[in-house]
Amino acid sequence: MDILKSLGHPEEIYNLFKFKMGGCRTVMPKLDYESMSESLKTCYLYLNQTSRSFAAVIQALDGELRHAVCIFYLVLRALDTVEDDMSIPLEKKVPMLHNFHSFLYEAEWRFTESQEKDRQVLEDFPTISVEFRNLGQEYRDVISDICHHMGVGMAEFLEKKVGSMKEWDKYCHYVAGLVGIGLSRLFSASQLEDPEVGRDTELANSMGLFLQKTNIIRDYLEDQQEGRAFWPKEAWSQFATQLEDLAKPQHLDSALACLNMLVTDALRHVPDVISYLTRLRNQSVFNFCAIPQVMAIATLSACYNNPQVFQGVVKIRKGQAVTLMMQATNMGAVRAIISQYSQEILQKVSLTDPSRDKTLLILEVIREKTLSQGTLPSRAHHLSPMYLSAAMLLAALSWQYLMATAGQASGSTDMQGH
């Protein structure tokens, strides 16, 4: 039970209870479904069914940007479902990926042969594409352009594995950096953010690369079990003959050295993340961008030098995720969170780790980026020990009651860090 994992973190228990009681409406407001068309309602249904991480923050965006990002997500989810579906032969899949952006303007196009779990976004693609065509031209141009470039990039990597570190950056650009660039262009198109946010593709690319690399690092074992390989050969070949060898107990030291090298590489994007977030002015856009980033660095901290990456699934605690979501609503708080997890990584750097010097260097760069800001205020500082004890007990009892009565109710938020 998640609350038991947070017993040593009373603030997390308090925030879990507050979250379950609906005390996070500033991040997760309720939508006005009555004013939506039936097709748009269906799009939000698909959003909540296919996204464990971004549905909440997408729905919290302001105005028409919310619908544009929802459709953007679903279009890319459909594209990604084609890429992931191993039952589609390459001679059919490659043209689909190349031409997928054109299907947005074909009212009846759908694909009913997918075997993937999210296949409904392909089977009912006309519902998504009609809402795409209902968007303003400024949004349609961005979504179509990013979809085109991403499809071409995905096709490129279908028949080759990620080799060099440069290819790792290139692959992550295609599948995530382009998402960051597209979102940034949508933010600017909505006029909620300055044009410079959409123009600076380097910073936007780093936002995507940081999230994608974190996912790839964390998902080593799951990807291996499903026959996928996204760790760059240039890194793992320094420590093993085959990528799967890293999961063998006798290769643990080499596995951790490789893991730490990749975490260090991912951390080099953090200074750009800070610079990007500093530019944002709209609160809903800031929350949307900041929350996944702080969860990513918390996840990287949990992964660093952790043998569990090769034995199971490394996830941050649900209470930890909820706390980060509730705290990461201003730049001062985000800087402090990044500083906190950077320091956690620093404390785990081994004297014998091959990447030690590079790790220390990037952590120092991150420290300098965050040093000028104050520390993150902790709610625990404002609560008496008696109140905290009562809150912990109440939260524990309430959580048990909710779990017993609600079971696995549909619509519960799955906070898994990303």
What residues are labeled active site?
171, 218, 228, 288
Residue 175 DSSP one-character state: I
HEC profile of 105-171: CCCCCCCCCCCCCCCHHHHCHHHHHHHHHHCCHHHHHHHHHHHHHHHHHHHHCCCCCCCCHHHHHHH
List the structure tokens of 371: 């040093």
3-state helix, strand, coil in the chain (%, to 5): 70, 0, 30
User: Cα dist. 56→176, 211, 411 in Å?
Assistant: 19, 17, 11
- Residues contacting 102, CB < 8 A, separation 6+: none
List the structure tokens of 216: 């790839």
For 17, phi then psi, to 5°, come to: -65, -45
Contact 122/50 with Cβ under 8 angstroms?
Answer: no
Burial grade of 361 (CB within 10 A; 0-12, 13-18, 19 or more): middle
Q: How many CA atoms lie within 13 A of 148 on its CB side?
A: 9
Residue environment code for 387-403, b if the CB has 16+ CB neighbours within 10 A, otherwise e: ebeebbeebbeebeeee
Distance CA 192, CA 284 (A): 9
Closest CA to 204 of 186, 216, 231, 217: 186
Alpha helix stretches (DSSP H) within 175-282: 178-189, 195-199, 201-218, 220-225, 233-236, 252-267, 270-279
Contact 47/58 with Cβ under 8 angstroms?
Answer: yes
Contact 101/144 with Cβ under 8 angstroms?
Answer: yes
Q: Which helix (DSSP H) or strand (DSSP E) does residue 13 occupy?
A: helix 10-20
